[in-house]
Structure formats: structure tokens, C-alpha cells
Amino acid sequence: MAKIVRFPVKSEILKWAISNGEKTYEELASKKQLKNLPDWISEAKEPTLKQLEYFSTQTAIPFSYFMLSSPPEENIPLLSFRTINNDSPRYSRALVDTINTMEMRQSWMKSYLEEMGQDQELEFIGSINEQMDVDQVADYIRNFLDLGSLSNVSGVSNYFTEIKHRISQKGIMVMQNGVVGDSTKRKLDINEFRAFVLIDHVVPLIFLNRQDTLNAMVFSLIHEIIHVFLDSPEVLNISENSDAGKSTERWINHVTESVLMPVGMINEMVRGLNIEERIQKVSGKCHVSKQAAVIRLFNIELASQSDVNQILEEHDDRTQHTPGSGNYYTTHLSRVDISYANAVINSQNSGYISTTDASNLVGTSLGAFAVFKEKMGMGSETR
């Protein structure tokens, strides 16, 4: 009979993993495979390798951490730029893992651009500041993205996709997902974050939480591109109808409103309409939520405070959206920035990186990568 090999792990590491993992002590201890957790913590008994691997999976803590002699100090600078509308400074493993993945992709893309001799810094980063006039900055960004040409685009999905594409064409990577990687069991929580932006002067990256509604994602996308123009990283938690947070965030929200809902356009479209019709018209035509629409109408004196209160009471902007279960490859293509995906596939086709590395970089399984390439229209070798 084979000898059971046990794995020595420090009590402090286990306690840290429980405090920073995705399950509570009670949830973990209730698992049959972890019934001896109290003995591991007291160091009266050591877990087997298989048990420790299971504990790692349940907590979502990297297995390598359990080999340390003391708890790790995870240095994630972006988390110091969190904009939160609650009192909890804690952050989840889902957010940590998502940030780590996006930082890895950003770093790879920057290296790729350097290899291609295309690593010029983007001149528009840092081109605005919060002392500037809100409407002038909004006009600047509208012109930058040529949003006027989208006035006849119908449907929030089409509008969002078009803006996302235009931002990507400007050299800003846009990623989105509603789960950690490909794990449907690890959903991202919009009550923790709606988006974040990683600033780099060559290849900035915006990430959007796909658990949010498309209307809210349109607002978050514009909000985060303003952060790029400001040269200011952020993890966004506040909503489009919130006036909470720092003065900079309030200024950015006002600019975002003006980008998506220019006062001239609003005045023209709501002429002769009652308040309910105004809110519906602005929400539908500008592809924003009713909450964002009524806040904008209030700010330009076309709605009352009671109108605002009523809409905010009737609509919960923190309702978790459940993305449809569409085609796997279509869903995966939507998660990854198109320029980034092209770069990864070009590198793999040219033999600079392996197929395994390429599939890891875009987040597909090895078997699914060939189909992913076909869907991108880049299935043939280019050597």
C-alpha cells in the first residue's frame, strides 16, 4: 500500500488564505475533503497534497503560496486607486485575479509592439485635466471618437460595440468579462467593481465587468476613457447616478454625461415632451439607463429633484445582469480586445510563441484555440 504523503504548511498561511479567499471558514470546514481543517490550522495534522490542492481550488489562492514560510504581500498598485461608494476596503480574489490577468496581457502587448517597432506613446494621454471646462472636454472626446456619426445607430448593443471598436482603434485595449477567466462559478460582482483602467502610455487597457447592464457599460466605458485622457488609473465602483466619491470622480461623471447626452441634442429631442417621455427618449436615444437620463435632465434643469427621486426608487442600478449563454466562441471573441487577439494570433502563426502560450494569452483551451482563430478569420499560417 502506497504511503500517504503529507504536505507541511504554515498555520499563518492557511489563516491568510481563509481571510483572503473566496470561501468563509464555515463553508470550507463543511466540505468533506476539508473536515480536518481545524487540525491543519492548529498544526496538529498536515494535509495531503490532494487535500491542499482542493483547499487551493476552493479558496482560489494560488497553490504556490502554500509553500511560503509567511503570508504573501500581494502588491497590486491599482487597488490603491479604488473609487468606492461603501466603507469596505477589502477586495475579492476575483478582482485580484482579473487585474493580474489584464496586467499580464497589457505587458505582453507592450512587448509585442516594441518588437514590431510600434511602441510610440499615445499623445492624448494626459491631455486634459479637471480644471478644464466640462463641455469643452466632452466635445473633445466626442470628436476624438467621432460620436456624431453614431446618431442613427439603433440598439444599445450595436452602440456599445461600435464605441468599443473605435476606442480599440485609437490604441486603447478594451477587455470585458463577467467571470474570472472561463470559470462560470466565479462571477464578477458589480457591487465590488464595474470597470477598471490600467494606464500605460503605449498601451492603456480598460476592463469592463460584463455582469453589468449594457447601458451601464456604455457609461463606464466613456468614464474610463476619460481616466485615460487624465492619465489616471482607477477601479470604478460608483454608478452613473452617484455623486459620491472624490471631486475628480464627480467631474468625470459630469463629462461622461455631456459626452453621451450633449445639452444641444437633449434640448432638441425633448421639446414638447412630458417628464416621463423625456426620460424614455433620452435613455433610448443616448443608450443610457433611465437613472443616468434623469440625472442629466436634472443637471440641465429639465427635470425636478422629485423626478430624480422617483426614478432612483423605481430602478435598482445595482441589479446584477446575467449575460446570455450565446455561442462560446462569440462570447469569447467579445471578451478580448480585437487588436490584442490579432497580435497573439500573428505571433503564433509566425512561430514566435507556441499554440499553448497563445491559447493562454487569449484565455481559451488549447483545443478551442484553432476555432477561435477561424472565427477571427486568421486560421491560416502566415510564415
- 78-135: pLDDT as tens digits: 887 776 554 455 789 999 999 999 999 999 999 999 999 999 999 999 999 999 999 9
In a domain, 98, yes or no: yes
Instruction: Please compute the mean of the pLDDT values over residues 250-258 and round it to a whole number.
Output: 94
For residues 240 and 200, what is the distance between their CA atoms, to the nearest angstrom?
25
Angle at 227 between CA 336 and CA 288, to 5 degrees: 70
- Cβ atoms of 257 and 296 closer than 8 Å: yes
For residues 125 and 198, what is the distance between their CA atoms, to the nearest angstrom?
12
Same domain? 229 vs 120: yes
Same domain? 214 vs 286: yes
In a domain, 5, yes or no: no
Residue 339 has pLDDT above 80, yes or no: yes
Residue 243 has pLDDT above 60, yes or no: no
The more confidently predicted of residues 92 and 329 is 92
For residue 134, what is its C-alpha cell?
466640462
Same domain? 93 vs 220: yes
The mean pLDDT value of the chain amounts to: 89
Residue 318 has pLDDT above 70, yes or no: no
In a domain, 188, yes or no: yes
In a domain, 217, yes or no: yes
In a domain, 53, yes or no: yes
Instruction: Please compute the mean of the pLDDT values over residues 322-328 and round it to a whole number.
Output: 61
Residue 240 has pLDDT above 90, yes or no: no
Same domain? 302 vs 153: yes
Same domain? 196 vs 342: no
Residue 198: phi and psi, rounded to 5, are -105, 115
Same domain? 131 vs 241: yes
For residues 196 and 182, what is the distance between their CA atoms, to the nearest angstrom?
19
pLDDT value at position 381?
42
pLDDT value at position 358?
93
Which pLDDT band, with edges at 50, 70 and 90, does 351 fall under?
A: very high
pLDDT value at position 234?
86
Of 290, 314, 338, the residue at which a domain comes to its end is 314
The more confidently predicted of residues 2 and 258 is 258
Same domain? 15 vs 106: no
Percent of the chain surpassing pLDDT 70: 91
pLDDT value at position 87?
47
Helix H segments across the chain?
A: 11-20, 25-29, 37-41, 49-59, 93-116, 134-145, 156-169, 214-230, 247-260, 263-269, 275-286, 290-299, 305-314, 328-335, 338-349, 355-362, 366-375
Q: Which amino acid is at 230?
A: L
Using DSSP, how many helices (H) and how many strands (E) does the chain show? 17, 7
Same domain? 348 vs 273: no
Q: How many domains does the chain have?
A: 3
pLDDT in tens, 148-203: 999 889 899 999 999 999 999 999 999 999 999 988 889 999 999 999 999 999 99
- Cβ atoms of 134 and 251 closer than 8 Å: yes
Between 68-77, 140-149, 278-287, 372-381, the lowest mean confidence (pLDDT) is in 372-381
The more confidently predicted of residues 160 and 75 is 160
pLDDT value at position 6?
85
Q: Which domain holds residue 167?
A: 81-314
Axis-axis angle for helices 338-349, 156-169 (nearest 10): 60
Instruction: Please compute the mean of the pLDDT values over residues 4-32 and round it to a whole number.
Output: 91
* Helix, strand and coil percent figures for the chain, each rounded to 5: 55, 5, 40
Same domain? 232 vs 310: yes
Same domain? 308 vs 363: no
Same domain? 231 vs 144: yes
Which pLDDT band, with edges at 50, 70 and 90, does 316 fall under?
A: low
Name the residue with cell 485595449.
173
For residue 154, what is its C-alpha cell?
439603433
pLDDT value at position 321?
58
Same domain? 175 vs 54: no
